[in-house]
Amino acid sequence: MSEPTTKKTAGAFDIRYIIGGLLGFYGVVLVVVGLFFTSEEDLAKGDGFHVNLWTGIALLVTSAIFAAWARWRPIIVEES
C-alpha cells in the first residue's frame, strides 16, 4: 500500500440509490394509477383492496428509507 489512496463516496452508483430510485418510480406510477385509473372491475379483482394505491405508498416509503440510509451511511471507496 505504498501508493496514496483517495477516498470518495460511491455517490449515485450506490446500489441503494438505484434500488430506491426504481422502487420510487414504481411507487409513483402505482399511486397515480391507483388514484385516477382504478375501475370497479379492478377493485373487485383485488377483493376490494386498493392494491395499486397501497402498494404504491409502501413502495414510496421503502424508496425513501433506502435514500435516507444511503445518505446516512455512504459507501466509501478507496481508490489507489
The residue ranges that bind another protein (CB under 8 A) are 10, 13, 15, 18-19, 21-23, 25-26, 29-30, 33-34, 37-38, 42-43, 45-47, 49, 51-52, 54-55, 58-59, 62, 75-79
Q: How many CB atoms lie within 10 A of CB 23?
A: 19
C-alpha cell at 29: 406510477
Least distance (Å) between residue 76 CB and another protein: 8
Give the nearer residue to another protein in terms of CB position, either 4 or 76. 76
Q: Are 79 and 6 in contact (CB under 8 A)?
A: yes
